[in-house]
Amino acid sequence: MSGKETNRILVVDDEESMREFLEIMLAKEGYRVTLAQDGEEACRVLDKEEFDLVITDIRMNDIDGIGVLKKAKSVRPDTVVVLISAFATAETAVEAMNEGAYDYVPKPFNLKEFKKIVSDGLQSKKGAYSDGKDHQGIPYHFDTLVGESPQMRKIYDLVHKVAMTKTNILISGESGTGKELVARAIHNSSPRREKPFVVINCAGIPETLIESELFGYKKGAFTGAATDKEGLFGVADGGTVFLDEVGELTAAIQVKLLRVIQERTFTSVGGTKEKSVDVRFICATNKALETEVIERNFREDLYFRLNVIQIAIPPLRNREGDLPLLAQHFLEKYSRGLGKEIKKISAYAMDILGQYYFAGNVRELENIIERSVALETSNIVLPESLTLSNFRGSKTRENKRRFDLGTDGIDLDKVMTEIENDYILKAMELAHGSKQLAAKYLGINMRSFRYRLGKLGIDVSSDDETS
């Protein structure tokens, strides 16, 4: 018996079609499902049986969803309760969270997001995400990096491998993806961890000052040089130099940097004596340096010296599953920093974030969460507190299905069946369980729809249509 099959879920809704839809969806996921048609029946069932999770509508006659929530918590405090409603309000959401609800989800909800809420709720009950590990016991962070996507796990593995070497590293990726965090993780995992980690923003230092900033200068080297000054390379001796946006360096500085990398020596501005330096170079760029080399904007010999090992950081929109982890990480960080007791991001707010393009990547997400925490007056981040910009259209999981054949190919029939099943369940969700309306959404007749439902193992004897 699988782990899911041991989890019992009670579904409470006064709409028969919604109860049936949730039963079909949850049973297909492997859960054991019990139905209750209203709050009174739910309370009677809760007195007799134990459930791991309760899904209840908020608006019902006599005993509403809040009443069911209170009953579930009074009978068994560790029961996970998720409330759903087509009439979501901030006040009701706050009341639900204060009474101990795990989440509050507005109708119509995103099917895949809802499945994840159910799965995460059950995992939280078991304490599966404690100590920075996922349900398989694998760390979902490395140093200050956060994420459990396959892309990030590959980066963690690569960071671990290169940290103990002296090899120069080139980190590429869009702005805001966390290139400096990767560089710090490499330094902090290396034998140089006790020595300086010096960050040099190549785009932020004026061209007239960058040479003296990097190499230092001798007294009298130029007007205003009243004393000797050590350069950043000298400060970093024994440690790591992180050259951010290295593609912005001028041709003259590129020549001098190449000499430092090759000879491990440099001369201060106005000086005559060479100084030896022991530093490791980690560089970052959001430019395609290969193109810059072809266009003669960047020296080819310097490029090959820097690009011994390249680490490519994916944009946030391509890091499947990392958004909730990062959002929760920033929520906890800024809740502590601002002295607030905000513990959760509502499912609706998270769904909105899931549709967002994030042109500024992780840095933009951090800014959004910081603003949300600052503006939020309740103990849960609601959609009204989100401040989003640069929206570039829907980014749902369906719209970004991967066309990846892998190394061993795929089972095309299986993939096509999965796609068909996803669309059938999505249509049933939008139709609130009405098979006739779902068939209309899919553009197929009822006979064909019944056949497909049968393949899914869904009972077609209780059709809601007469045709």
Residue 135's pLDDT band, with cuts at 50, 70 and 90, is: very low
Whole-angstrom Cα distance, residue 255 to residue 97?
60
Residue 123, pLDDT score? 80
Whole-angstrom Cα distance, residue 324 to residue 354?
9
Whole-angstrom Cα distance, residue 283 to residue 168?
8
Residue 242, pLDDT score? 97
Whole-angstrom Cα distance, residue 325 to residue 20?
32
Residue 4, pLDDT score? 54
- pLDDT above 50 for 441: yes
Provide the residue type at 45 as one letter: V
Average pLDDT over residues 227-249: 93
Residue 253's pLDDT band, with cuts at 50, 70 and 90, is: very high
Cβ contact 70:63 at 8 Å: no
pLDDT digits (tens, 9 = 90+) for 161-200: 899 888 999 999 999 999 999 999 999 999 999 999 999 9
Residue 128, pLDDT score? 35
Whole-angstrom Cα distance, residue 205 to residue 211?
9
| Most confident residue range from 97-101, 331-335, 412-416 | 331-335
Instruction: For the chain, list the domains and their CATH numbers.
Output: 1-128 (3.40.50.2300), 146-312 (3.40.50.300), 317-395 (1.10.8.60), 412-456 (1.10.10)
Residue 68, pLDDT score? 95
Residue 372, pLDDT score? 93
Provide the residue type at 375 as one letter: L
Average pLDDT over residues 152-158: 90
What are the residues facing 57 on neighbouring strands? 84
- Mean pLDDT rounded to a whole number for the chain: 84
pLDDT digits (tens, 9 = 90+) for 346-394: 887 888 888 888 889 999 999 999 999 998 888 888 887 888 764 443 4
Residue 465's pLDDT band, with cuts at 50, 70 and 90, is: very low
Residue 248, pLDDT score? 93
- pLDDT above 70 for 466: no
Residue 140, pLDDT score? 60
